[in-house]
Structure 1
Amino acid sequence: MSTDSDTSLLPIDPSRRQVLGFSAAAAAGLAIPALGMAAPAPAATAGGKKVLRYAFQIAETGFDPPKLSDIYSRIVTQHIFEGLFTYDHLARPAKIKPLTAAAMPEISADFRVYTVKIKPGIFFASDEAFGGKPRELVAQDYVYALKRFADPANKAPPWGDLEEADFIGLNALREESLAKRTPFDYDREVPGLRALDRYTIRFEVVAARPRLLELLAGGDLYGAVAREVVEHYGEQIPAHPVGTGPFKLVQWRRSSLIVLERNPEYREMLYAAEPAADDAEGQALLARFKGRRLPMIDRVEVSIIEENQPRWLSFLNQQNDFVERVPEEFITTAMPGGQVAPNLKRHGVQGYRVLTSDIVLTLYNMEHPVIGGYTPERVALRRAINLGVDIQREIDQVRRGQGIKAQAMEVPNTTGYDPHFKSEMSDYDPARARALLDMFGYVDKDGDGWREQPDGSPLVLIKHTQPDQKSRQLDELWQRNMNALGLKIEFSANKWPENLRAAQAGSVMIWGVASSAAQPDGQGALGRLYGPLKGSANLARFENKALDEIYLKMQGIPDGPERNALFREAKRIAIAYAPYKCHLHRYVTDMAHPWIIGYRRPDFWQDWWQYVDVDDSKRKA
């Protein structure tokens, strides 16, 4: 699972729809006519290059895979680095296929040994680390890349996934480096990660891992990295990603502009896919592009626009070709009823609306002296808060219908998700919440209108938040909901990366985040509850022996009824102790101008730039 910001969790108060001096309604009404008459469309770059321009809503952190946990940096690295395997970009449900691998792996009957052959003739982009030339990809590059996650010096947020995979000898090598406080020994052979020859790699894990391929298909994190590049750039490596993928980084102004261009050393890759026979959209895309050489565009320019209104206006005014995640406050003017608005449709604007594999959460720090703990009164406090949060109002008023209530941690399109499962996570019942608080001693003892703790000490909830307009709207609903329960709440506003670091360190009380699935396996969501992942995926710092045992058991069981039963039991434990409030699964709407051709929203993968084309003849000057 990857974590991202969610700054639009709560309702928009009509009296506070002012952003940069314009109202949301005025912004939509004034900007849309500009499509046809005001701002001229940017021309293609010199030489007739095909350029894709769009904006991220959250700043990147860098481009060194072991250091990454945010989705926006990983969108970039997915287009630079390549895993052994990837996802078919048109197949629904998800389907894994070879990328740099010559074929699907040989897998032992006990799911412990995976042997992979790499295609010869694949090259890293030329770089000064290679003397200004390209260098051929070899099996040892994947061994080195995975070892980097185990190196304590990298403090890799995704290390938990590799630790759980448990490649024979890798965890021990990391522990030895930690215990002796010595540099990680990259030259030590690890039995579970071995290059058998120049083009053959063997993975061997301690116990059965039927879904190991999903890990190896994550090129954004686990793509091949050349040791020469890391050693050449040292501390500057986050600014110098060098991979075998279709694009290379050519310009980076931190938190402002990211520019990538076609990798001139990229091998011949042709557009191919296997959409389902009844997938009309997928079949049409395949018929149009089959056999085209990838990538079909020459350059990608990504700006960072954190505020929703200017990001939306940059699209309407044709300064950007594409808008990912149309802000909820503009959804009714952009795609009312799920259809592109007539005034946009006249200009050829395309809309793409899907239910994503993600979840919006509020976490409670289980080690915090006020909100945390496992005693009945602390459990009652968290469950009462959960019952007092009005999710339907959030969906109707803020999301403009762009979401469905979440019943548990598992997300749509993954194993473990059951659309028929119902729990109290989706209930809004202030009366029951107040009764729970009364029953467990959270009452107003001093008559000031606010509840105290059972021992009479003050009770103040502190929710971490971000200093932006959407977060302020989020805070207003929390304030309203907690006031109705007699619970005093205060807010601590910080930049999102600062809140993430604080949550990882266990120094927040309450914080709201969104989490996206990176793989079809739903067990990643349970990592938010698995004790040994405290401080990484498990930001709530939840510990429960029964859940931990379920988590470990699930790793070695193939998908099926037995594993589904374990998912259900894990859900019940999480709902009972309430270390999180599960809010909703989001519908996401992306939009593109008519000259962007071939877009289809990815699900568990982030690479799509190479699969779209730009038709400059459709731009309106």
Structure 2
Amino acid sequence: MKSSSILHKLLVSHRPKVSALALAIGVLTSLTFLPVSHADAATSPADPDKVLKWVFNVAETGFDPGAAKDLYSNGVNYVIFETLYSYDYLASPVKLIPRVAESMPEVSADAKTYTIKIKKGIFFTPDEAFKGKKRELTAADYVYTLKRLMDPKLSSPHSWLIAGKIVGLDALAAQAKKTNKFDYDAKIPGLEVVDKYTLRIHLNEPDFNLGLILAHNPTGAVAREVIEKYQDIQGQVMSNPVGTGPYMLVPDEWVRGSKIILVANPDYRGDVWNHQGSSPEDQKIMAAMKGKRMPQIGRIEINVMIEDQSRWLAFQGGEVDIFELEGPLAPQALDNGKLKPALQKKGILLSRIPDPELTVYYWNMQDPVWGGLTKDKIALRRAVAMAHNVTEEINIVYNGNAVPLDYPIPPGVVGHDPNYKSSIQYNPAAANMLLDKFGYKKGPDGFRTLPDGKPLEIRYTARTGPIGKLQTEVWKKTYDSIGIRMKEDLVQFSEMLKAEKNCQLQTRNAPWIADYPDGDNFMQLFYGPNTGSTNNGCVKIPEYDALYVQSQKLPPGAERDALYHKMARIMEVNTAQRTGFARYRNMLAQPRVIGYKKHPIIYGEWMFFDVEKNK
């Protein structure tokens, strides 16, 4: 089944004036947009002759903000489904701004109650579920969306965002597990609809990151009628995205795993570009974009190209407008992090940022070989962690296009400590001695057995494609250096994520790009109750979990940082994971692209920049 009434005639309705009342939450402030007059609204800002050609390096999983876990699908979700808040396009450090909300939230003195007013006159794109009527976005839609994240039937990978936080919501979810039915009509104290356009959220404990969470894709509003129409048909919710955002999917042109087409939403309210930056690059963008009504791009064509060389050739041939230059291809275009002169002469632009990211090496703590907190299991994991040369991996797999990390909170994220030194450092000789001491004996073939004499073989998983292949080669060298057999396991990205969520993988490189720019978003990766969602290594260490609960009650600052240091040391002592690196993200843009800059948090910045018309 497909969403009905896909409209190609690009019109835009009046957008009311947005308040710029700001709430000081750390460094986060609001942004003022220029109002759009009725006269201006007569002509759509989105031009159907402006076509952006984009590329994904892995296949999408689908377009349901509550279920999609991968970065690429959520880039599409960002422009279809609208969150209450978002981020300014140019501000550094990042600034939280209203999106659907009229202004920043009113927060009670105890930081446990948030009151949010949403803009009037915002409508979902047409769908059969609405039975021919225009469907306005209301506060109740955000209540439904937040409840849905906790519905056991959905089993959302994002439930951790609000689990334990909203008064009465966890009890409602627990009841649903018993009855096998989530009661969406049940009123709970934590989610209060004050009036049609006002939402009040009551928290169990203070949460200083709630505004950031309400800017994250999974909280983008969905319509209950749409979900209920399609949810009983396998995969149909993922295939029928109906939101209020600037773009919408064209189902008839969607070829799964190959091609995704988005067109501008003709009823999107639009706004006037008025972002402020400080760098020379920002000044050029501001000069080119200031005062334009957005979005400008009428059609977005996304092709899935898994092979690095295919993407590079397509970009060189002008078949792709913006291209993510991953590590293996970096030498083709970059010299010491700068664009090569030949490409500069062609007018190619480079937007390069260190990602707010952590790539962590984990060992499945529920796996019979790797899991457990006994000394022999800790020794096995620690030996592998010490045997792995992170710098060598960065050079071989990413051509030096990454930064090694000692601390689990990366640069550019609140809570990062540049002076922290991990107790786990590269030392293969000590790694071999450790395995010898704890009974992992080498046989005549040079490979080790388990302490009980049974064979020891591990399965390292990576995504299909050149990077995954290089990763397995580097890790094979690591395991060979300490006499452990390693089996290569290359699988499709989406299948790997499914297996990981169910604690079925043994070990892999697991990258995590910030959902929101706060250290909490990284320390939660190792919190026991997040197993099955974000805790990829299925780690459950009671001491760590207790400290994490304490940390959530604190605002950013020295007291919380002290807890984070203790938590990092606990992870090192038990070696449930090994901190790896943060990659640079290099985005190349053709000369016809106007005003593009990679944002550190938003993926799918298509509503913020422009392209020249197709010739």
Query: Using the alignment, how far apart are the partners of 2:604 and 2:456 within structure 1?
Result: 47
3-state secondary structure, aligned to 2:309? helix
Which region of structure 1 is more displaced relative to structure 2, 578-587 or 560-569?
578-587
- Describe the superposition over 1:275-331 as per-residue Cα deviations: whole angstroms up to 9, x where unpaired: 3xx43322432343222111011110101111111011111111111102x132221
Structure 1: any 5+ residue segments left out of the alignment?
A: 1-46
Task: Give the structure-1-normalised TM-score.
Answer: 0.88
Amino acid at match of 1:589: N
Task: Determine whether 1:416 maps to 2:410.
Answer: no
Task: Determine whether 1:480 maps to 2:473.
Answer: no
Quick one: which of 455, 473, 490 aligns to 1:493?
490
Query: Residue 262 of structure 1 corresponds to which residue in structure 2?
Result: 264
Query: Using the alignment, how far apart are the partners of 1:48 and 1:197 within structure 2?
Result: 38
- Describe the superposition over 1:73-107 as per-residue Cα deviations: whole angstroms up to 9, x where unpaired: 10000001111111111111111111111111110
Query: Using the alignment, how far apart are the partners of 1:491 and 1:401 within structure 2?
Result: 24
Amino acid at match of 1:551: Y
Structure 2: any 5+ residue segments left out of the alignment?
A: 1-46
Query: Using the alignment, how far apart are the partners of 1:586 and 1:307 within structure 2?
Result: 19
Number of residue-to-residue matches in the alignment:
565
Query: Residue 552 of structure 1 corresponds to which residue in structure 2?
Result: 549
Query: Residue 245 of structure 1 corresponds to which residue in structure 2?
Result: 245
Query: Using the alignment, how far apart are the partners of 1:474 and 1:328 within structure 2?
Result: 12
Query: Using the alignment, how far apart are the partners of 1:591 and 1:429 within structure 2?
Result: 38
- Describe the superposition over 1:117-168 as per-residue Cα deviations: whole angstroms up to 9, x where unpaired: 111122222333334454221111111111111111111110111104x211
Amino acid at match of 1:609: W
Please say if residues 289 and 609 of structure 2, whose CA atoms lie closer than 8 Å, have aligned partners that are also in contact.
no
Distance 1:344-1:565 versus aligned 2 partners, 3 A rule: same
Q: Which has the larger share of helix?
A: 1
Quick one: which of 270, 273, 279 aligns to 1:271?
273
Amino acid at match of 1:415: V
Query: Residue 364 of structure 1 corresponds to which residue in structure 2?
Result: 363
Distance 1:237-1:288 versus aligned 2 partners, 3 A rule: same
Please say if residues 56 and 304 of structure 1, whose CA atoms lie closer than 8 Å, have aligned partners that are also in contact.
yes
User: Superposition pairs for residues 346-361 of structure 1, below 5 Å?
Assistant: 346-361=345-360
Query: Using the alignment, how far apart are the partners of 2:226 and 2:166 within structure 1?
Result: 25
User: Superposition pairs for residues 152-301 of structure 1, below 5 Å?
Assistant: 152-164=152-164, 166-181=165-180, 183-218=181-216, 220-234=217-231, 235=233, 236-251=236-251, 252-275=254-277, 278-301=278-301
Query: Using the alignment, how far apart are the partners of 2:371 and 2:152 within structure 1?
Result: 29
Query: Residue 432 of structure 2 corresponds to which residue in structure 1?
Result: 434
- Describe the superposition over 1:501-540 as per-residue Cα deviations: whole angstroms up to 9, x where unpaired: 2222222222222111110111121222111111221121
Amino acid at match of 2:319: Q
User: Superposition pairs for residues 421-570 of structure 1, below 5 Å?
Assistant: 421-425=420-424, 427-444=425-442, 446-570=443-567
Deviation at 1:113, TM superposition (A): 0.3
3-state secondary structure, aligned to 2:441? coil
RMSD (CA atoms): 1.8
- Describe the superposition over 1:449-504 as per-residue Cα deviations: whole angstroms up to 9, x where unpaired: 11222222222222223343332222112112211211221223322222222222
Distance 1:114-1:305 versus aligned 2 partners, 3 A rule: same
User: Superposition pairs for residues 372-387 of structure 1, below 5 Å?
Assistant: 372-387=371-386
Please say if residues 127 and 133 of structure 1, whose CA atoms lie closer than 8 Å, have aligned partners that are also in contact.
no
- Describe the superposition over 1:243-278 as per-residue Cα deviations: whole angstroms up to 9, x where unpaired: 111111113221111111111101131112233xx4
- Describe the superposition over 1:410-460 as per-residue Cα deviations: whole angstroms up to 9, x where unpaired: 2221122112211144x221111111112222222x433112222222222
Task: Give the structure-2-normalised TM-score.
Answer: 0.89
Query: Residue 14 of structure 1 corresponds to which residue in structure 2?
Result: none
Q: Percent identity?
A: 37
Please say if residues 126 and 265 of structure 1, whose CA atoms lie closer than 8 Å, have aligned partners that are also in contact.
no
3-state secondary structure, aligned to 2:221? coil
Query: Residue 32 of structure 1 corresponds to which residue in structure 2?
Result: none
Amino acid at match of 1:340: L
- Describe the superposition over 1:11-35 as per-residue Cα deviations: whole angstroms up to 9, x where unpaired: xxxxxxxxxxxxxxxxxxxxxxxxx
Distance 1:230-1:576 versus aligned 2 partners, 3 A rule: same
Query: Using the alignment, how far apart are the partners of 1:407 and 1:133 within structure 2?
Result: 55
Query: Using the alignment, how far apart are the partners of 2:407 and 2:371 within structure 1?
Result: 20
Please say if residues 288 and 594 of structure 2, whose CA atoms lie closer than 8 Å, have aligned partners that are also in contact.
no
- Describe the superposition over 1:363-388 as per-residue Cα deviations: whole angstroms up to 9, x where unpaired: 10112222121111211111110111
Task: Determine whether 1:150 maps to 2:132.
Answer: no
Task: Determine whether 1:615 maps to 2:612.
Answer: yes
